Structure 1
Amino acid sequence: MAKIASIPVIDISGEGDQTQVAKDLVEAAIEHGFIYIKNLGKDIPVEAIEGAFEMSKKLFNAPLSEKRACTIRHNNRGWSAMQYETLDPGNQRVSHPLLLLITVVSLTDNPQTGDLKEAFNFGPFINSKAQQPLPPTLTGEDEAAIGAFRDLCEKLCLKLTTLLGLGLEVDPPDFFTSAHLTSPDRPSGTILRFLYYPPHEQLPAREAVDRAADVRAGAHSDYGSMTLLFRLRGQAGLEILGRDGKSWSPVPVVPPGTEEDPGPPVLLNIGDLLAYWTGGLLRSTVHRVVFAGGRDTEPRYSIAFFFHPWGGAELGVVPSQRVREFAERGDAKAEGNPYAERKVLTADEHLQMRLRASYAQLYKDKA
């Protein structure tokens, strides 16, 4: 049996001097890349999270014609059909020809199984209005509520980037936060994503699927700076890859010591861009979603908020003495960490590189 992931729980809700909290957050980001953020309703009310999940269920139950009309575009907004996205294109291959029949979009020219999930990506909202097509099933009230939830997530992420700058003793300490302040002239790739994973027995051609090898979302690291992940109690399946590059550890929805909290802690994970910025000091940990044994008889829902800096932000070395010392020691290169290699990209260049790999169908006409 796989060993349960040991991930620290950090409470950031206190007032006053946050220096120690900032240091604890940085140490967790260095050691694990994943951190539970204790959520007692101060940053994101439990009711707002519950409401977002209800809207997610409503959206994915919308008629297929409505969702198809909102199919994802090159701006990374909209609906992604079952198996349309392939997060691990190097390993997600067809294991049986019948699997080609279970996707809404033909995979004839792209023989990969793709992820066993649907997703809907929301870009920015202006005056409570989404800047993209939405299924008519969602009312104007739903639209405003989704926008408000997105705003809460963004505010929490700005708080976290401030703490990371403080904990790393970056000069200036608002280096990360400033890079994530957006405007119409400084758009970003930040996305709020609703996710739906059907139960195993509802998958067409399920007799062709090898349960032991099958995954719901392929192994990947996240494209942005950081991700907030919201899950429902009893809906397991998330796993993280160990430092050995071989072993996978399940990530509990409710970590020990938080069972009595009104809602599970929000799960934070460091993304590629913070890893680039720090030369690999902060870990962008590879993770995946799998079928969780006998607990995959119900649909699985999750919500992810992918936080990105504005598109023109350059991913040079962050001005931090600790980051410089880490680079001089060569620890990251010794581990074979790809983010130790200095290749200065902008945030948008990195995002487009990753999207092209994940959405082969969408980008095949732009090769």
Structure 2
Amino acid sequence: MSNLSCTSKMADTTTPIELPVIDISNPHDPAVGKAMLDAAAKYGFLYVNSKGSDFTVEDVDHGFGLSKKFFASPALEKETCRIEPNNRGWSGMHVETLDPDHQRTGDFKEAMNFGDFKDGKAQQPLPPSLVPHEGEINEFAKLCNKTCNRILTLLALGLEIPEDFFTTRHDPVSGPTGSILRYLFYPSIFSPKTAAYKHDKDVRAGAHSDYGSITLLFQRPGQPGLEIRTPEGTWAPVPIVPGPDAGAYPFPPILVNIGDLLSYWTDGLLKSTVHRVVFPLAEQQSPNPQDRYTLVYFCHPVDTTELIPVPSEVVARHREGHGGIVGKVGFGGGAGSLVPGDKPLTAHEHLMSRLGATYGFSKDE
């Protein structure tokens, strides 16, 4: 693990970071692919313009409505689908610890994970509150996957490799994937659920990089908290809506970040940036702080995919620029380059190692 401190000291927080907003309505435009590659290499984070996305306002509002309905349901109902080592199900307050080396206690959040659907059916137990909405959850996950395919196609264009290099390796028709649709609930600082919170010690979600290829994050206005670690070593808040004109978007732009696997694949060219979720100072000073709800889609390759560097001249030039040696990728792993004779790591092996550290699952589990 990294030696980054994950405490929420406000002195360590800089001004909000400015990230590009990219229109992905045409996923076959090389110029857009280049812009996306540049953003992914510089920041590891970017926005997708919600106006050119596959989602309607109703899709996103309904997704948040189902999330709130689930988290408001009785604990006994949530217990019927407690999280399993396959990363599917409900995790309660403090169950997940994203930065175990530095956190005093587990994350101040609850989560509900949905894995791959098959023929429109969930391959896991669903809680009573969500059973009637199985088809709607599946449809939202399909829209997320469609958006990820657009992004992966554009990144392939930017890397000057075949357009379908990544998408074919993320096709669930080829086998199971680690992709997860996740509902997240972070109670406000004055909620009874956060009574144990200690200022300057605890965070809503510990410092981490994401495990998969790319992540889609849907947020609600007025519910901030996400910060990313800058190259200078400070924490920078990420605005929910970039720029001064919130009215330019039907709903807040989708925040996209690069995960560890794309860093592996590109020998660290694409940044798997460390990030966390905090109780912002503004919320701590507000008389009416809001709970924070987010919808997240973690896009993972087919389990058997080998994590070897992509056949890209862009990646080769990056590698040469670093003397052929690429350092640690993201928060939890090494680079994609292999020592001669080493067996390539698979997507499933990487995911299981990260989940084991996060939840304390054993290797056998």
TM-score normalized with structure 2 length = 0.88
Of 166, 184, 196, which aligns to 1:195?
A: 184
CA pair 176-294 structure 1, distance change in 2 beyond 3 A = same
- Write the mapping of 1:305-320 to structure 2, written as runs, cut at 5 A: 305-320=297-312
Q: What whole-Å deviation, never above 9, does each CA across 1:7-27 have from its counterpart, x for those lacking one?
A: 111111248x51111110000
Of 6, 25, 33, which aligns to 1:13?
A: 25
Where does residue 96 of structure 1 map in the other structure? none
Distance, in Å, in 2 between the alignment partners of 1:284 and 1:31 is: 10
Gaps of 5+ in 1: 94-112
Of 145, 164, 175, which aligns to 1:174?
A: 164
Q: What whole-Å deviation, never above 9, does each CA across 1:192-214 have from its counterpart, x for those lacking one?
A: 000001112224573x5322232
Deviation larger for 350-359 or 324-333? 324-333
The answer to whether the 8 Å contact 1:85/1:115 transfers is: yes
Q: What whole-Å deviation, never above 9, does each CA across 1:179-204 have from its counterpart, x for those lacking one?
A: 11112x51000000000011122245
CA pair 365-276 structure 1, distance change in 2 beyond 3 A = closer
Distance, in Å, in 2 between the alignment partners of 1:204 and 1:192 is: 24
Report the CA distance between 1:134 and its aligned residue. 0.9
1:114 lines up with 2:106 in the alignment: yes
Letter in 1 for 2:352: Q
CA pair 320-165 structure 1, distance change in 2 beyond 3 A = same
Report the CA distance between 1:68 and its aligned residue. 0.6
Of 43, 46, 58, which aligns to 1:32?
A: 43
1:220 lines up with 2:208 in the alignment: yes
The answer to whether the 8 Å contact 1:129/1:143 transfers is: yes
- Write the mapping of 1:88-107 to structure 2, written as runs, cut at 5 A: 88-93=99-104
Q: What whole-Å deviation, never above 9, does each CA across 1:215-255 have from its counterpart, x for those lacking one?
A: 100000000000000000010000000113x2000000000
Report the CA distance between 1:365 and its aligned residue. 8.6
Distance, in Å, in 2 between the alignment partners of 1:321 and 1:33 is: 20
Deviation larger for 210-219 or 114-123? 210-219
Letter in 1 for 2:24: I
TM-score normalized with structure 1 length = 0.88
Report the CA distance between 1:364 and its aligned residue. 4.7
Q: Runs of at least 4 residues of structure 1 off by over 6 A? A: none
Where does residue 273 of structure 1 map in the other structure? 261
1:240 lines up with 2:228 in the alignment: yes
Where does residue 342 of structure 1 map in the other structure? 337
Where does residue 108 of structure 1 map in the other structure? none
Distance, in Å, in 2 between the alignment partners of 1:194 and 1:319 is: 35
Identity value in percent:
48
SS in 2 for 1:268: strand
Distance, in Å, in 1 between the alignment partners of 2:221 and 2:324 is: 36
- Write the mapping of 1:59-208 to structure 2, written as runs, cut at 5 A: 59-93=70-104, 113-140=105-132, 142-170=133-161, 172-183=162-173, 186-203=175-192, 206=195
Letter in 2 for 1:213: K
Letter in 2 for 1:28: A
SS in 2 for 1:188: coil
CA pair 258-21 structure 1, distance change in 2 beyond 3 A = farther
Where does residue 254 of structure 1 map in the other structure? 241
Where does residue 341 of structure 2 map in the other structure? none
SS in 2 for 1:151: helix
SS in 1 for 2:35: helix
CA pair 204-146 structure 1, distance change in 2 beyond 3 A = closer
Distance, in Å, in 1 between the alignment partners of 2:189 and 2:324 is: 39
Deviation larger for 257-266 or 43-52? 257-266
Gaps of 5+ in 2: 1-12, 339-343
SS in 2 for 1:285: coil
The answer to whether the 8 Å contact 1:258/1:265 transfers is: no
Where does residue 7 of structure 2 map in the other structure? none
Report the CA distance between 1:158 and its aligned residue. 0.8
Report the CA distance between 1:42 and its aligned residue. 4.1
Of 302, 312, 325, which aligns to 2:317?
A: 325
The answer to whether the 8 Å contact 1:62/1:135 transfers is: no
Report the CA distance between 1:128 and its aligned residue. 2.7
The answer to whether the 8 Å contact 1:235/1:300 transfers is: yes
Report the CA distance between 1:339 and its aligned residue. 4.3
Distance, in Å, in 1 between the alignment partners of 2:260 and 2:157 is: 20
How many residue pairs align between the two structures? 340
Distance, in Å, in 2 between the alignment partners of 1:226 and 1:219 is: 17
Report the CA distance between 1:48 and its aligned residue. 0.3
Distance, in Å, in 2 between the alignment partners of 1:173 and 1:138 is: 37
CA RMSD of aligned residues (A): 2.0
